[in-house]
A and B are shown apart, each in its own frame.
Chain A
């Protein structure tokens, strides 16, 4: 089976971890993988455009056990969490989830996890692909916080798509319908302990089911796929098309330690005046005052043919023959019928309508700076 966008063969060693859903996903026909947090993540079960339409019209199940959790607890758990994140968490209630960035002393982005607040002093950080446990453990040295940091036995799956509500109702009952966007509830499904959040990486209506017992992966997968049958549930990988349409960023390709939240358009996650001190405050204040020197912008490549299903590596961006930045994501949106993506450019070139050039392996192409997200900027779809 040819996988679009380039494929290689991977050495299959025990040093890559397997999610509790690995066997079930293999059985369901997964044939393409990514690696994320040193763990396999199923990326393809069928053609990626077909998977996209299924996500947008029906409901899909994703093995994202690779979203490893870092648990923060102990008497100073809340204070430590405030110290790690520039976002003001005083308004984050127990039972809520928040998208946060973690920053280093220079304001660089360490990770962009979804945080769940399980108790006053107890949090899970559902991490993107970089080791937040090492960061948090390092930071706790000499920091005078009484905290416990560990990776708990917790592995999420995502149930995404407009019919996900019905699937979840059938699994955990009607109370799930009352749950608001970025909130969670604790439940058991046939005796399997889980936490269900109304979050996801698709910007469709969606949920994540956090499995709390790694030995029950196949059981949970089977139970969910059974419940999903009447609603046409099928396994897919996370959709690169859908997340780019939605303006969702991917760590470490779109953002990483080299970039700060203001440049990445994530300034709304920084509360410079919040009560608690946090790592990176001084640097971020200065960056905000001076204004970011570069920006992550939306780009559109004119023409409706597929430039590349997704990027095999970042491509250079040029202006007037001079290299000025890098393209970090590109995919053809099946519904917009356009090649859309993100690029890092100097601030003066971030004005909407600016013409730039991306350097593809097949030669340079004209591209235009456009607004992102490309659809549903207010997130009405996932909130509905």
Chain B
């Protein structure tokens, strides 16, 4: 089993090959915020938390492999209140949103969602949120980890645009897994099945104000329920759990295993401020024919022309399971030379392999390249492979 707490309080390696390392002794304080679902989730027995956007997020309930199979076969509920929103509104909201992202917002209709990058003038990545277009000039950016509000407010100071930038009282839940549609029908009726992939709907549930999107971090069929008033946290959680009871719903943490199989990236480990979209394989989010100016436009055109110097690739690491997640960015070597590092790694129970991503010098990024990885279980052979590892066309979440 995975250690929940230890008595001596030192960092513990997982005792189970399929689990991952955890750090006991994290202090609950007033400066680490809690989501509106915190107490409901805690009742289900959270064993470890993740810290994300200055908030606690359940990171483990039972066992990562057990949670993974439940996600893949049934339906799961995730407390992701940590996905904070930056709201952009005001008369020039559309122009401001265009300025922030390389994706062309002309191609984003009202009621649509888009996976976007926010970039610096140098082409570095600030964040990779899911954008919700709620109105002509009204957007939410559903953030991955970090203080994007400061970036957006900072840019707005001298942008000469009439915009409001703020963090609204919005806290998402994710409902993910093949039976999520059955739970959604039970909650909202048959017409919810009309909601297409990466689209949103404003609605309510017994007076609880919501925005529902058909998005998620699992690449399974899934939805996000954006609660628009945190005082209804308990009620929303209870309603979803009740509707899901006959579909075997379970609270789980976001699955590191499933998201790596799907090629989904995690900001702060796979993508950082000093990465550009092209080197992490997100060139498709840069609309090269976008007419309006945006932060990073000139730099990204130059980077594209010159070609990238390093690349985030899929990697398979040989041998016994190395756990569901890693404690450090392990070095990657070619012969005796360090050529990059692992950014994420997990053991996939259905592929029965250690799979993940590595940021490598471009000369070592070709599919089939043989490398060595320094793991906590010794040096292992590894091979550069294609990613995603399953369902490259996203047929599953679109189905």
Q: Please give me the residue from chain A that is nearest to B50 by CB atom.
A: A11
Chain B hits for A5, CB < 8 A: 27-29
B1 touches A (CB below 8 Å): no
**Contact present for A252 and B10 (CB under 8 Å):** no
Distance (Å) between the CB of B280 and the closest chain A CB? 15
- Checking B154, B160, B269 against A14 with a beta-carbon cut-off of 8 angstroms, the contacting residue is B269
Instruction: Known A11-B20, A35-B51, A252-B54; judge A329-B30 contact (CB<8 A).
Output: yes
**Contact present for A15 and B25 (CB under 8 Å):** no
Q: Please give me the residue from chain B that is nearest to A16 by CB atom.
A: B51
B33 touches A (CB below 8 Å): yes
Of the four ranges (under 10, 10 to 19, 20 to 34, 35 or more), the interface on chain B belongs to 35 or more
Instruction: Known A9-B49, A12-B327; judge A34-B151 contact (CB<8 A).
Output: no
Question: Interface on chain A toward B: helix, strand, loop, or mixed SS?
Answer: loop
- Checking B20, B30, B51, B154 against A313 with a beta-carbon cut-off of 8 angstroms, the contacting residue is B30
- Checking B51, B121, B326 against A141 with a beta-carbon cut-off of 8 angstroms, the contacting residue is B121
Distance (Å) between the CB of A135 and the closest chain B CB? 4
**Contact present for A141 and B295 (CB under 8 Å):** yes
B109 touches A (CB below 8 Å): no
Q: Find the residue from A1, A6, A40, A329 having the highest chain B CB count within 10 A.
A: A1
**Contact present for A135 and B27 (CB under 8 Å):** no
- Checking A7, A8, A135, A328 against B30 with a beta-carbon cut-off of 8 angstroms, the contacting residue is A328
Chain B, 20-39, CB within 8 A of any chain A CB? 20-34
How far does the alpha carbon of A134 sit from the alpha carbon of B272 in the complex, in Å? 13
Stretch at the interface among A25-33, A199-207, A294-302, A362-370: A25-33
A322 touches B (CB below 8 Å): no
Distance (Å) between the CB of B173 and the closest chain A CB? 19
How far does the alpha carbon of A32 sit from the alpha carbon of B147 in the complex, in Å? 25
Distance (Å) between the CB of B41 and the closest chain A CB? 12
Chain A, 296-320, CB within 8 A of any chain B CB? 310-314
- Checking A40, A44, A137 against B151 with a beta-carbon cut-off of 8 angstroms, the contacting residue is A137
Chain B hits for A312, CB < 8 A: 28-30
**Contact present for A31 and B10 (CB under 8 Å):** yes
Q: Find the residue from A134, A139, A328 having the highest chain B CB count within 10 A.
A: A134
Chain B hits for A329, CB < 8 A: 30
Instruction: Known A10-B48, A13-B327, A142-B160; judge A33-B27 contact (CB<8 A).
Output: yes
Instruction: Known A131-B146, A135-B153; judge A313-B27 contact (CB<8 A).
Output: no
Chain A hits for B59, CB < 8 A: 10-11
Instruction: Known A13-B327, A130-B147, A142-B158; judge A8-B28 contact (CB<8 A).
Output: yes
**Contact present for A10 and B51 (CB under 8 Å):** yes
Chain B hits for A287, CB < 8 A: none
How far does the alpha carbon of A7 sit from the alpha carbon of B42 in the complex, in Å? 13
Q: Please give me the residue from chain A that is nearest to B325 by CB atom.
A: A13
**Contact present for A14 and B25 (CB under 8 Å):** no
Instruction: Known A129-B31, A138-B157, A253-B31; judge A13-B26 contact (CB<8 A).
Output: no
B328 touches A (CB below 8 Å): yes
A257 touches B (CB below 8 Å): yes
B329 touches A (CB below 8 Å): yes
- Checking A9, A110, A136 against B4 with a beta-carbon cut-off of 8 angstroms, the contacting residue is A9
- Checking A6, A110, A314 against B27 with a beta-carbon cut-off of 8 angstroms, the contacting residue is A6
- Checking B8, B49, B121, B147 against A8 with a beta-carbon cut-off of 8 angstroms, the contacting residue is B49
**Contact present for A138 and B328 (CB under 8 Å):** no
- Checking A7, A252, A279 against B157 with a beta-carbon cut-off of 8 angstroms, the contacting residue is A279
Chain A hits for B160, CB < 8 A: 142
Chain B, 153-202, CB within 8 A of any chain A CB? 153-160, 167
B56 touches A (CB below 8 Å): yes
Instruction: Known A7-B27, A34-B27, A135-B150; judge A141-B60 contact (CB<8 A).
Output: no
How far does the alpha carbon of A371 sit from the alpha carbon of B175 in the complex, in Å? 49
B152 touches A (CB below 8 Å): yes
A218 touches B (CB below 8 Å): no
A357 touches B (CB below 8 Å): no
Chain A hits for B312, CB < 8 A: none
**Contact present for B327 and A10 (CB under 8 Å):** no
Chain A hits for B10, CB < 8 A: 26, 31
Instruction: Known A13-B325, A142-B159; judge A313-B34 contact (CB<8 A).
Output: yes
Can you offer 5 A-B residue contacts whose CB atoms are under 8 A? Answer: A8-B46, A12-B20, A31-B10, A32-B27, A33-B26
For the complex of A and B, list the 6 residue pairs with the smallest distance between their C-beta atoms, beginning with the closest.
Answer: A138-B154, A31-B9, A6-B28, A11-B59, A253-B31, A131-B147
Further 19 A-B residue pairs, CB within 8 A, beyond A5-B27, A34-B27? A1-B7, A5-B29, A8-B26, A9-B23, A10-B50, A12-B23, A13-B50, A13-B325, A13-B326, A13-B327, A35-B26, A131-B150, A134-B154, A138-B155, A140-B154, A250-B31, A310-B30, A311-B29, A311-B30
